[in-house]
Structure 1
Amino acid sequence: MQHTKLKWIYLAILSLVWGSSFILIKKSLIGLTPLQLGALRTLFAAVFLFFIGFRSMKAIAASDWKWVIISGFFGTFIPAFLFAFAETEIDSGIASILNSTTPLLTLILGILAFSIQFNKNQLIGVIVGLIGCIALILEGASVNPNQNYWYAFLVLCASGCYAINVNIIKRYMQHIPPMAIANGNFIVLVIPALIVLYFSDFFTLQVVSDTIVQTSLLYVCVLSVVGTGIAKVLFNKLVQISTPVFATSVTYTIPIVALLWGLLDGEKFTFYQVLASGIIILGVYLSNRNR
């Protein structure tokens, strides 16, 4: 009973936090490149988590580290760059909606890689959800012809990475404390992030005198500490006390928060995009019936 209540609390908090992450990415990109944003987001979150919970890594056995490393790259590192590049061409609200395909991809991956059984409703849900994605991308391209909607597929790739990660956590890391998983993830990502940051020309920026860069760094700091660091711990716990499909269902409610931020920031959203978004949500609902 306690877990039942907790999982809904975690779901609500993550919806608010991650729903706000898309607008923070957009604002951060004003003064930073996607490579700089992805690397800094990883490094800031690593420093924050190290200070609040580095001792928790004692709970990670030597045999668990391979899964912690894989989880770190698929659950954090790769998506951070994919979302950053995607939002250079598509609106933050659209990116959040496309991210709601994560439960569908989690189900597909579970069927293909983990031999999970599926029923008719789930198959129909996957098909409906994919139709909604295609419709959303096509409508977005017609509404904003100056945006390159091929970049929408980067969001789908990021969602696929999340789907891989959540299945790995549920199957192989149930016994590891959520804080330990998060710290382990980011510790192994520090060196790759530093390498990317070095080759991104970040150290040539005039950080001290450029107010645009300073503002972008402030957005990245909030994004990293709250949207990546704290949220990562909460999500790991949510996966452990619920199911992979329930945990990824946070992506249903994320677009509500993200779209509100997008509209306040002047982004366009048409009736047909609302309809396409509804088709995606319907697909997700059908794929999760009777589970």
Structure 2
Amino acid sequence: MQDLLILIVVAALWGASFLFIRVAVHDLGPVALIEARVGLAGLALLAVVAMLRRRPAWRDRRRYLILGALSAAAPFTLIAVAELHITASLASILNATTPLFSLLLSVAWLGEPLTPRRLLGVLLGVLGVGVLVGLGPVRVDPALVAAVAASLLAALLYAAGGIYAKLHFVDTAPMTVATGQQLAAAVLLLIPTLLLPPPRVPDLPVAAAVLALALACTALGFALFYRLVARLGPTGALSVTFLVPVFGSAWGALFLDEEVTPGTGLGLLIVLGGVALVTGAAARRKP
């Protein structure tokens, strides 16, 4: 019961991240917003690590910079850019394609087999994205297509970051990895933020959204997620993928009055069906 509660809380926090990005991105701009997100989250996680009296081993800074780019700096920024043109709901659903990209990269990078069931999952995911774009509540135009492409590229980078972490950080404490990842992302985005400063001074609601995004969705979300990984294993923790777009759509509808059309619901079901085929196969291989 405790694990289920943690799973729901993580999904709710990560689903809310798309809401807070949508609230703040027009005032701060994508780059400055994400710099604030990863910088504050990294410092918060560093404080937790210090309170736990752990001595993080960050000798290989180059690998942390690569991980920070793949898993935080680049995908976070791409999602923020996308949410200049698409709803938080659509962005959260598109992000649910991450396990599908993870499968494709695992086949190409790690030589894992592409079974008919997993191939069907990927094809369903592609169909779901097509339904979301074609039947969603937003008019199809070049800006929408570019935003969807940015969201899918972010999902691809998340998948690449997960595989990179699996290859290079398997013996490193999860909290250390999460802290180094966020701080490395902050370092990578520092100069771009100076070149692309916020277009205006944020008001109180925007500042509150940034704090919630950094401290709750990112720092607390990662801390709880890695606790879930320790208790359930990576495959069990991956089930959070099914809930994040549900919460993302719900938060967008509740707080931003975003329209959830039948096409949105149908696309969500098709994408999650594809993810279920892919992750279900992984669960059977790794009991």
TM-score over 0.5 (shorter chain): yes
Contact kept? 1:40, 1:197, Cα under 8 Å: no
- Give the % identical residues: 27
1:278 equivalenced with 2:269 (yes/no):
yes
Distance 1:245 1:129, change over 3 A: farther
Cα RMSD (Å): 2.5
CA contact 1:90–1:151 (8 Å) conserved in 2: yes
The aligned amino acid for 2:184 is V
In 2: Cα distance, 1:161 partner to 1:237 partner: 23
Cα offset, 1:131, TM superposition: 1.2
Q: Which residue of 1 aligns with 2:196?
A: 200
> Where does residue 255 of structure 1 map in the other structure?
245
Deviations 1:109-161, CA, capped at 9 Å, x for gaps? 11110111232111111111111112211223x74357623211111111111
- Which structure 2 segments of 5+ residues have no match? none
Q: Residue 60 of structure 1: which of 49, 57, 61 is its match?
A: 57
2:110 to 95, 110, 114: 114
1:81-100 equivalences under 5 Å are 81-100=77-96
CA contact (8 A) 2:6 2:228 kept: yes
Normalised TM-score (structure 2)? 0.87
Partner of 2:162: 166
Q: Please give the TM-score of this superposition, normalised by the length of structure 1.
A: 0.86
1:268 matched to 2:229? The reply is no
- Identify if the C-alpha distance between structure 1 residues 87 and 35 changes in structure 2 by more than 3 Å, giving closer, same or farther: same
- Aligned position for 1:40: 36
Cα deviation for residue 231 of structure 1 reads: 1.8
2:213 paired residue among 223, 242, 245? 223
Letter in 1 for 2:274: G
| Residues matched between the structures, number | 279
Task: Label 1:269 to 1:115 Cα distance change in 2 as closer, same or farther (>3 A).
Answer: same
Q: List runs of 5+ in structure 1 lacking aligned partners.
A: none
Distance in 2 of aligned mates of 1:169 and 1:10: 23
2:101 corresponds to which of 78, 102, 105: 105
